[in-house]
Amino acid sequence: MTVNSIGVIGAGQMGNGIAHVMALAGYDVVLNDISEEALTRAVEIIQRNMDRQVSREKISAETRDAAMARIATTQELPQVAKTDLIIEAATENEGIKQKIFDSLLPHLAEHTILTSNTSSISITRLASRTDRPEKFMGFHFMNPVPVMQLVELIRGIATDKETYETCLGVVEKLGKTAASAEDFPAFIVNRILMPMINEAVYTLYEGVGNVNSIDQSMKLGANHPMGPLELADFIGLDTCLAIMNVLHDGLADTKYRPCPLLTKYVEAGWLGRKTQRGFYDYRGETPVPTR
């Protein structure tokens, strides 16, 4: 199947990044969100990020302008349903995702492929609620989307070969690399990454080290570009907790039990960079550890 148009649902950090790379690759993009303010902000962010690519000579000004012209925004889900491939990139909440797909179904073209950018939720379960489980799969980008080279492709139990190969072709056109994952909780990247972050929070919770010493240890001792607590703030502590809960519930193994301190931060609304406070306080000129 040939894909010419892409629908992206959710104009947040992941959604605007997906719209960015799709438009640069030559696809017509329809970006959807329930908030007009979020859509306006997303377009501004995409413009700013593309301007940075021009200044670094990664792309030409002409390429940027052509890509920006390919991005349309809408608050109406039926407008997204007219595209060839839809990527749902809403918040990591299964109930919200199911409502989105339920709302899309009456308006979809017969050929439209449905995908989710979920980082942990069962693709098979999401697909089973739709009228096209064979045309449904996981399309999981890494953050930040324009920079990160990997895309996880996750087949549900019913996903057919044509759908997988179509999505693989899109990834290749983006100039990214696909990793095929089976449909088990958190797939590959987060199955490995999130328990490491959770263990770093336990290390903090138990007083083995403070925020600085934990992050410095992993950056300088394991050559990680970011410490695990710094990375958790970047991802969003609510997202980290949601994925740990999916792992714990889906695999029923106590090693995936979310650290109580992670839960406490989320309950406080200290979700990381997006709320200006998490394991670091970002309200000043430089981030300051909160513990």
Q: What is the CATH number of the domain that holds 88?
A: 3.40.50.720
Q: Could you give the CA distance from residue 251 to residue 272 in angstroms, rounded to a whole number?
A: 27
Clarify whether 62 is annotated catalytic.
no
Domain count, the chain: 2
Q: Residues 16, 122, 190, 198: which is the catalytic one? A: 190
Do 90 and 200 lie in a common domain?
no
Q: Do the strands 28-32 and 5-9 form a parallel or antiparallel pair, or are they unpaired?
A: parallel
33 annotated to bind ligand: yes
Exposure b/e, 94-103, CB count within 10 A at least 16 = b: beebeebbee
Domain that holds residue 175: 5-182
Which of 166, 182, 198 terminates a domain? The answer is 182
173 annotated to bind ligand: no
Strand locations in 127-214 (E): 136-141, 150-155, 177-181
Q: What is the pLDDT of residue 92?
A: 87
Q: What is the pLDDT of residue 106?
A: 96
Q: Residues 5, 119, 120, 198: which is the catalytic one? A: 119
Q: Could you give the CA distance from residue 209 to residue 212 in angstroms, rounded to a whole number?
A: 8
The first and second tokens of residue 57, run together, are 């000579």
Q: Residues 20, 117, 120, 152: which is the catalytic one? A: 152
Do 214 and 158 lie in a common domain?
no
Q: State the 10-residue block means of pLDDT for the chain, 291 residues long.
A: 96 96 98 97 98 97 98 96 97 94 96 96 96 98 95 98 98 98 95 98 98 98 98 95 94 97 98 97 96 93
Clarify whether 190 is annotated catalytic.
yes
Do 18 and 134 lie in a common domain?
yes
12 annotated to bind ligand: yes
Clarify whether 119 is annotated catalytic.
yes
CATH assignment at residue 250: 1.10.1040.10
Beta bridge partners of 88: 9, 116
Q: What is the pLDDT of residue 182?
A: 95
Which of 147, 182, 217 terminates a domain? The answer is 182
Do 206 and 142 lie in a common domain?
no
Do 126 and 232 lie in a common domain?
no
216 annotated to bind ligand: no
Q: What is the pLDDT of residue 1?
A: 85
Cβ-contact 204, 210 below 8 angstroms: yes
Which of 159, 182, 205 terminates a domain? The answer is 182
Q: What is the pLDDT of residue 274?
A: 94
**Backbone angles phi and psi of 289, in degrees to 5:** -55, 140
- The single-letter DSSP state of residue 149 is -
Do 36 and 9 lie in a common domain?
yes
Clarify whether 128 is annotated catalytic.
no
DSSP 246-281: HHHHHH--GGGPPPHHHHHHHHHT--BGGGTBSSEE
185: nearest Cα among 138, 238, 120, 252: 120
